Every structure is written in structure tokens, then in C-alpha cells.
């Protein structure tokens, strides 16, 4: 039995290397913002020179989670709201993998809200991209956790009575160590942010504003954005938690007024990842769990030695 080899990065990777040469079973409508996320993701990974076979893309359910069908890598298209526990455990089993989790706003901030909160606080070394189009698309237009108050659909016929969740503030209070928001209308910034997020050691949360041309024509995601890092009006220190909170608060208020602010909001440089914390405590081995199964010389300990205390 030959060994399991971690793959070394090959710098000459092209964007198209992540494109499957087969027609995916298409669920994305013409004009869907998800195409922009896909393009930015491929661009970022090509820029970083990641081999498609060292990437594990774990998704939930919904239009956004169909990204796996349009993307050629190892993929796990799972169930609604659950990509994060799957992704973080895969990373723990094999830290050599580049683990990226993706899903929609319903997937991540609704049904998977608990997993989002805990994955962020644990600071797993992974990237989490939330395709935020403020609507449930695949089930035909119901309000999502980020839909503006008053959004009407067949299940909220008088307009949704709830305030939207605040994904950035939620991510920050939960403990994500990198938080950014970008938009489909802004491909250059989107790719830059994804590069940073993937390179970041820790839980990187990217709220990616996308448009749903079929079910959410009114969303503000189409309007020109303001890059908070490019503008002198929004000078703040992204390593300062309090300043980041204040900017997020402004951003999350202004979005529904039609002023779309995007950029990096928070970056914590010196925080240990969850794996580092566990290793420090001796709760996690240095080498990937997976390697041993292919290592003929690895000595598997037996429960027999444990029995002495039962005798």
C-alpha cells in the first residue's frame, strides 16, 4: 500500500483549472450573482497557486451550495445549514487540505446559525463564504434571515415582520478572526478579499453580497458599492475590535438604505487557531490523522494496555 502524500502547491495554476469540463445540472439563472462568486473564487485560488486536488469545498443546500457543480475540486455538497461542522472536522482530520465552506444566507445565518457562531468562536483555520442575496432562491423567493423588514413573498404576504440579522456583527461577536464583506458587482475587490481570507490563519468569514435576478429584484446589491478601504471617509483600524464594531454597525444599517459599503472590517493577526490551541494542550497530534492509515510503520496502540486499571 503506497503512502498518502500531501500535495505541494504548484504555482502555475490557471483559473480554468477549476472549471469542470462537463455541463453542470444548472440551477443558476442568467444574471445570477453566484457566477461572480465562482469567478472570484477561481481567480483567488489561481492567484494563490492552489492545486484543485488539495481543495475541499464543503457546501450546504441552496443555489449557492450548487457551487460544487460548477467547480472542479474535491467537493462535499452536504445538507442545509451543516457545511461548517463537516468542513472543520475534515480540516482536523487532514490539516493539509485547503478547506473552504460555502452556503447561502439562509443556510449560514438561519438553519446553520448555531454552527456559524461556534465555528467562529473556535477559530478553525478555514474560509467561510456566505452568498448573501437576502432571499431564499431555490425554494422560490421566501424571506431569508437577511431579507429587509417588509420583504414580501408568498409566505410573508404582508411583508416580513422581523429585522434582518447583522452578519458582520454576528461574526465579530461570535469570534471570527477575519471578517469582510464584498459584492458581486465588485469582482476586483471580491478576488482580493477571497485571497486574504484563504491566506488568513483562522476562521475567515466573508459575507458576499450577490443578486438574485429572479426573486429579489429590489435588493440593493445591484447599486454601486463604496469600498471602505478606498475611501477616506471610513478610516478605521481593522485590528481594533471596537472600531470594527462601529463600522459594521454603520454598514449594516446603510445597506438597507441603499448605501452598500464593502471591504475588510476585522482582522485579528495574533490569535491562535483552534488546531493550534488543541495541539498546545496535547489534544491533537502534529501530523494529520489520515497519514497514519497509509503509514505501514505507524504503531497503532491497543486497548489492551488500558485494561490494567480494570484488573
Binding residues (CB under 8 A) for other proteins: these are 1-7, 20-22, 24-25, 52-54, 56, 58, 61, 66, 68-69, 72-79, 82, 84-94, 96-97, 114-115, 117-118, 278, 282-285, 289-290, 292-294, 300-304, 306-307, 310-311
3-class DSSP state for residue 193? helix
Question: Which residue is it, cell 483549472?
Answer: 17
Closer CB to other proteins, residue 232 or residue 299? 299
CB of 96 to other proteins, least distance (A): 6
Q: What distances in angstroms separate CA 257 from CA 132, 134, 219, 254, 261, one per listed residue? A: 16, 14, 10, 5, 11
Cβ count near 178 (within 10 Å): 28
Q: Cα-flanking dihedrals φ and ψ of residue 24, to 5°?
A: -70, 155
CB of 304 to other proteins, least distance (A): 5
Closer CB to other proteins, residue 75 or residue 213? 75
Task: Please give the Cα distance from 275 to 43 (Å, whole number).
Answer: 28
Closer CB to other proteins, residue 78 or residue 133? 78
> Do residues 222 and 144 make contact, with C-beta atoms less than 8 angstroms apart?
no
Closer CB to other proteins, residue 232 or residue 296? 296
Closer CB to other proteins, residue 33 or residue 60? 60
Closer CB to other proteins, residue 232 or residue 308? 308
CB of 165 to other proteins, least distance (A): 18
CB of 147 to other proteins, least distance (A): 24
CB of 71 to other proteins, least distance (A): 9
Q: Where are the beta strands (DSSP E) in 90-212?
A: 98-104, 126-132, 135-136, 142-143, 178-183, 203-209
Separate counts of helices (H) and strands (E) for the chain: 9, 10
Closer CB to other proteins, residue 187 or residue 288? 288
CB of 158 to other proteins, least distance (A): 32
- Residue whose C-alpha is closest to residue 148's, from 131, 128, 167, 165: 165
> Do residues 117 and 174 make contact, with C-beta atoms less than 8 angstroms apart?
yes
For residue 96, what is its C-alpha cell?
Answer: 493539509
CB of 288 to other proteins, least distance (A): 8
Amino acid at each position: 500500500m503506497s503512502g498518502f502524500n500531501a500535495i505541494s502547491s504548484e504555482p502555475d495554476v490557471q483559473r480554468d483549472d477549476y472549471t469542470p469540463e462537463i455541463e453542470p445540472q444548472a440551477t443558476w439563472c442568467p444574471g445570477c450573482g453566484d457566477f461572480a462568486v465562482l469567478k472570484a473564487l477561481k481567480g483567488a485560488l489561481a492567484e494563490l497557486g492552489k492545486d484543485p486536488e488539495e481543495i475541499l469545498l464543503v457546501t450546504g443546500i441552496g443555489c449557492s451550495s450548487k457551487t460544487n457543480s460548477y467547480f472542479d475540486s474535491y467537493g462535499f455538497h452536504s445538507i442545509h445549514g451543516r457545511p461548517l461542522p463537516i468542513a472543520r472536522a475534515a480540516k482536523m482530520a487532514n490539516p493539509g487540505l485547503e478547506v473552504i465552506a460555502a452556503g447561502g444566507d439562509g443556510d449560514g445565518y438561519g438553519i446553520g446559525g448555531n454552527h456559524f457562531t461556534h465555528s467562529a468562536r473556535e477559530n478553525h483555520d478555514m474560509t467561510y463564504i456566505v452568498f448573501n442575496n437576502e432571499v431564499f432562491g431555490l425554494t422560490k423567493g421566501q424571506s431569508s434571515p437577511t431579507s429587509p423588514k417588509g420583504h414580501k413573498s408568498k409566505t410573508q404576504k404582508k411583508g416580513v415582520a422581523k429585522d434582518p440579522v447583522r452578519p458582520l456583527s454576528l461574526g465579530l461577536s461570535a469570534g471570527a478572526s477575519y471578517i469582510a464583506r464584498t459584492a458581486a458587482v465588485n469582482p476586483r475587490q471580491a478576488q482580493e478579499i477571497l485571497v486574504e481570507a484563504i491566506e488568513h490563519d483562522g476562521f475567515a468569514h466573508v459575507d458576499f453580497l450577490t443578486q438574485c435576478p429572479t426573486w429579489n429584484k429590489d435588493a440593493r446589491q445591484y447599486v454601486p458599492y463604496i469600498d471602505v478601504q478606498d475611501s477616506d471617509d471610513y478610516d478605521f483600524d481593522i485590528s481594533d475590535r471596537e472600531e470594527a464594531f462601529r463600522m459594521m454597525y454603520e454598514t449594516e444599517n446603510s445597506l438597507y438604505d441603499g448605501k452598500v459599503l464593502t471591504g475588510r472590517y476585522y482582522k485579528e493577526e495574533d490569535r491562535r487557531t483552534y488546531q493550534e490551541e488543541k495541539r498546545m494542550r496535547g489534544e491533537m497530534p502534529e501530523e494529520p490523522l489520515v497519514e497514519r492509515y497509509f503509514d505501514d510503520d505507524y504503531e497503532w496502540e491497543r486497548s489492551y494496555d488500558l485494561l490494567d486499571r480494570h484488573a
